[in-house]
Structure 1
Amino acid sequence: MARALCDYLPQLLCEFPTLDEDFMRDLRKSVDGGFKSFVRSYGDPLDNALEPLQWFLNWLQALFVDAPWIVFLALLTTLVYLASRSLKITLGTALSMGVIGLVGLWEDTMVTLAMVTVCTLISIVIGLPMGILMARSDRMQSSVNPVLDVMQTLPSFVYLIPVVMIFGIGKVPGLIAVVIYAVPPMIRLTNLGIRLVDRDVLEAADAFGSSSFQKLFQVQLPLALPTIMAGINQTIMMALAMVVVASMIGVGGLGKNVLQAITNQFFTIGLLNGFALVVIAIIFDRTSQAYGRRLQKHTERIHG
């Protein structure tokens, strides 16, 4: 029916007009050539600038992998208990990590934990100041929000291309890709948490003569901490989700095993490594949520 209708309509109304092929080819060549020139000019300086990041990642990964499993497990369960104050979450962490070790995925899990830890720290270092700036300036918020929208909606495979072209294959390119994917929730929820602080509390701080610096660090950030913790939680979850994709460009650990299982159709290997990723995600999620609830109760008790 649609084809028959086109017989009676001008071709322009039936086929969407496109730009000239020669123009599109020249445009693609100029853009690709410009990017390649940028890589040739600035690739090495950018590599050198990020070398400390490579050292830190390698050091943390070696620390996690080489540490006796009993020591690491004891430290992990202690941190989980101090953050959550929940015996159920702590016991679940110990049992889940024990199962991961029994199925032979302990070392790969340590590599993934090191990567997620570094990505989360970088996301916090970038996201917290950016969220504060957005909360203090509507113009900054309107400028940054479209960038965050693009970062969250653009398929991760697309921005792997420029990262690989600039930095090649390796851990640092994978780390950059994970941070790009994981940092937006940290920025958004920091901004949201500060903006949600009650105006009456801010007016009271102004009445006591608080400076802008004091108001930020003694009033706004403490009251926004539960929301900021939710941002950290979401950042960790997105970093774990991106680890599998980043394994395509040299990130090891559980993501590499999942990718190999997909390639070779190894159902059991994929299932076990997926289970390990889910376990890590649940541990981080339950612990950070419990800590966020404790912070919220503490804040309500102080300011209530």
Structure 2
Amino acid sequence: MSGVVSGFTVIFLVVSLGYLLGRTGSLGEHASSVLARLVFFVCTPALLIHSLATSDLSVVFSATLAIASASALIVGAAYVVIARLWLRRAVPELVIGALSSSYVNSVNLGLPIAIFVLDDASFIAPLLLFQIVFYSPIALTALDLTALDPVAGPGGKRTSTLKTALVPLRNPILIGGVIGLAVSLVGWTPPQSVMEPLNMLGQASVPLALLTFGLTLTGVAVFKKGQSPRRDIALASVMKMVAMPLVAFALAKWAFGLTGHALFAQVVIAALPTAQNVLVYATRYQRGEVLARDSALMTTLVSIPVIALIAATLA
């Protein structure tokens, strides 16, 4: 449990700092959008390139990759179906909601828990690979094509089908993931003069995302009636903290035959809260921002007793 407490302490301290900076106005009125764009266009792509280029992919391709991928896709798809039929949301809001219900906080909380609770940091590597190389590009492609409205160019002029199809390929996160994976697959080690700047920028991704999260809490009432999509948030939170751990448990136990510590690890990974990256994506596309913010906050708070219950039951 000390790892759980330590991981959540890190999150709350950095988010609180962002909130204080927002309250004092130290970074200006546009700080959250500027930081979100910095994370989206610079820091996260650098993190992906460095992380994948230095990873041992033989460790990544394991049962954990299959379970994490399947559980996230199942829960995300279930959210889209339910929210579409029940809440009648547009595609961009469905995408942000699906991410809020299935995209886990694998770095700033996942790594401490993997090290101190699971006693094995390798459980997080497959999750990182799935989310940054496969899941994020799919979601961002959907947002590129639906939230940015690439068909309508400047002055309302329509662009060609080819230009529309190429919009997702200009996404910096997709580009970073592809570059990092390609470098790792060919076995080439870039020079230190290249890797070190990427490492420096990549290390700034998580803290800046947390600061952005804190800044967005300034001057707003969380779950405020009439402004916050409460049903969307409740649905995403329940899917993330209840449905996803149960799906991961079922897959790990009955599809892969895992038991003991291995089974426990898969369920804990699935019970990690929503990543702040989702808020960065929502801010970038200016769709579903309140949903992403409040879902991340709700699942972070709820994940403490949920992970404690999992530990007491399966550890």
Tell me the TM-score normalized by structure 2: 0.26
- Whichever structure has more helix as a proportion of its residues is 1
Larger Rg: 1
Higher relative contact order (CA 8 A, sep 6+): 2
